[in-house]
Amino acid sequence: MRSICGRLQRLYGASAMLDTLRGDVYIRNTSTTPKLDLRFAAASCCRQAWEGRTMSLNEHLAEAPDHRRKVREGMIVRSKEALEPGLSIFKLGHRFDRKRRQNDEQVISSPWWFTEATVESITRAAQNANENLADVFRRFGAVAKRWGGSGDLIVKARIGAPVIAYIGPGVIKDFRGDEDKESDNTWDMPLWVPSPNIAQLYIPFTPVKDPSSSIASAALRDVYIVPIDKWDESYIRGNPNPKWRLW
């Protein structure tokens, strides 16, 4: 419990005080004022640890109506699971969202991820067909160019604290009525039918309406952000080149 609460205290600039008689948790502001969602996450996590129960760090986000709606728009949800520490996850990252440059925390806080087995399938498919890796990532994940993400990074991270993830294949995307809106930079397949055998992970790290409040740094360990054109030469024996390590 001390390690969990201590981590949250350091990250969010707050002190968690346990009332040992009732098991209640209070948050006292120190150097900074954490946002409400982060206070809630810290307090809930510490309370569950005090009571001897495991709570996922993002449980309050996973149950939020905005996230429940967003995940249904992009995924056929097969299950909702608590991912345990130690699991490696991967994503197609975007340094630019349309013309806006994203910092590292914004890159890793996007909720859409893949398992390691899926990434191995993607890289193998790209190599066998001699295709661009970014294009194969987009096809497997139904990540349309018209949505503005640059798709120029691969992120690898390890789950460091239990988090809730929605799991399932992507939904069909039909762009056949939008051909007149496309350009060379936004062309997508007219009809995207993701493989039913490829599972995506939807892991909420931020409130939908306040993406600046991220718990990704508390939930993830061993984070690497690798330029996608460097991935094949960097990913050796399970880890990218250390120079791409974020923390």
pLDDT (tens digit, 9 = 90+) per residue, 33-91?
Answer: 333 333 434 444 444 443 445 689 999 999 999 999 999 998 999 999 999 999 999 99
- Overall pTM > 0.95: no
Residue in the block written with tokens 């239990």? 162
Residues facing residue 200 across a β-bridge: 114, 168
Q: Give the confidence band of 99 by pLDDT, cuts at 50, 70, 90.
A: confident
Spatial CA neighbour of 82 closest among 204, 223, 224, 171: 204
| Torsion sign across C-alpha atoms 9, 7, 108, 56 | negative
Q: Distance (Å, rounded) from C-alpha 78 to C-alpha 197?
A: 12
- pLDDT value of residue 97: 87
State whether residue 124 is helix, strand or coil.
Answer: helix
**What ranges do the domains of the chain cover?**
2-55, 60-244
Q: What is the tens place of the pLDDT at every residue in 208-241?
A: 888 778 999 999 999 999 999 888 776 655 678 8
Q: What are phi and psi of 72, to 5 degrees?
A: -70, -25
Q: β-pairing, 100-101 with 96-97?
A: antiparallel
Using CA atoms in the order 147, 153, 154, 157, what is the torsion angle rounded to 10 degrees?
-100
**How far is residue 247's CA from residue 163's CA, in Å, rounded to a whole number?**
19
pLDDT score at 197: 76
Check whether 187 has a pLDDT greater than 90.
Answer: no
Q: Is the Cβ–Cβ distance between 169 and 195 less than 8 Å?
A: yes
